[in-house]
Amino acid sequence: MSWPPFDSPCLTPATESPGPLGPCLHCQIRHLAVCGVLTPAEVQAMDTVASLQVLEAGAVLARQGEQRRYVYTVVQGALRLVRLSADGRRQVSGFAMPGDFVGLSGAATYPHDIEALAHTELCRIGLDAMQRLGVQFPHLQGKLLERACTELDTAHDRMMSLARMNPTERMADFLLRLAAQQERAGTPGPSISLPMPRADIADHLGLTVETVSRCLTALRTRGLIALPSTYRIEILDLAGLKALEAA
């Protein structure tokens, strides 16, 4: 469904707390997360079932095929969602950034490994508890549906990208997506961060590490981007990049 965004009944952006995570009420990223639609009173209900989980870089949160017991909201840091086929081919389904909800799946088991790209803090909720919350707060379920629909849209974008764009175009698309995402999350700025290694970008875009590297240097040579460091990128010619992506 279209599900034009529900108005968040809680308009205070939850920035009053200094700490990274108190109880949910003071959560720094609630406005980015699905729980943003809950009233302060409703947030309390969520508080009783949510718990904070901290991961170090490289830590594995879940393995493909394991029983799904929890869903997560990323509070800080970043995750990668990785599929491995029987013969070892690797596909990075996506990256989860602060505010992202991890667990929109219809399967009983995890469809991918979930790994931390850096020090990461998560809000964890039992799957059953989350389902009960969905029944209790229909507008929360509505928000989840809205998220799922948005993710479906971007999934279709990515299919177009994987099926019909060449490596350079895919890189441009990826970088612009990342930039837009960091802008939304309140981290604008000329230079954007690439929290993942080249291999993850490659497996996300259906390329090889070598090709990713070559594409980045190509974009740099053409003056579209700068690479101040390995994990940081600067967009010099936004219009030029967009022209590539749209193709």
Partner DNA sequence: CGCTATCTTGACGCGAGTCAATAGTGGTGG
Partner DNA sequence: CCACCACTATTGACTCGCGTCAAGATAGCG
Q: Which residues bind DNA (CB under 7 A)?
A: 166-167, 197-199, 206-214, 216-217, 227, 229-231
- Helix, strand, coil percentages (3-state) for the chain, rounded to 5, are 40, 25, 35
For 20, half-sphere exposure in the C-beta direction (CA atoms, 13 angstrom radius) is 12
Q: Does 158 bind a copy of itself (CB under 8 A)?
A: yes
Q: How far is the CB of 205 from DNA (least distance, A)?
A: 8
Residue closest to 63 by CA, chosen among 86, 81, 37: 81
Residue closest to 122 by CA, chosen among 199, 39, 206, 56: 56
Site for a copy of itself in 197-236 (CB under 8 A): 203, 205-206
**Are β-strands 79-84 and 113-116 bridged in parallel, bridged antiparallel, or unpaired?**
antiparallel
Question: What's the chain's length in residues?
Answer: 247
Under a CB-based contact definition with an 8 Å cutoff, are residues 103 and 44 in contact? no
Site for a copy of itself in 81-100 (CB under 8 A): 83, 85-87, 89-91, 93
Residue 229 binding result from DNA, a copy of itself, none, given CB thresholds of 5 to 8 Å by partner type: DNA
User: Which one among 76, 141, 191, 213 touches a copy of itself, defined by CB under 8 A?
Assistant: 141
Stretch that binds a copy of itself, among 51-59, 163-171, 176-184, 220-228 (CB under 8 A): 163-171
18 versus 89: smaller Cβ distance to a copy of itself: 89
Q: Tell me which DSSP letter residue 49 carries.
A: T
CA atoms of 76 and 99, how far apart (whole Å): 8
Site for a copy of itself in 10-69 (CB under 8 A): 68
Query: By rule CB under 8 A, what count of residues binds a copy of itself?
Result: 53
Under a CB-based contact definition with an 8 Å cutoff, are residues 211 and 166 in contact? no
| Residue burial 185-215, b: 16+ Cβ < 10 Å; e: rest | eeeeeeebebbbebebbbbbbbbeeebbeeb
Q: How far is the CB of 91 from DNA (least distance, A)?
A: 12
128 versus 210: smaller Cβ distance to DNA: 210
User: Which one among 7, 11, 19, 107 touches a copy of itself, defined by CB under 8 A?
Assistant: 107
Binding-site ranges for a copy of itself (CB under 8 A): 1-4, 68, 71, 83, 85-87, 89-91, 93, 103-108, 111-112, 127, 130-131, 134-135, 138, 141-142, 144-146, 148-153, 155-156, 158-160, 162-165, 203, 205-206, 246-247
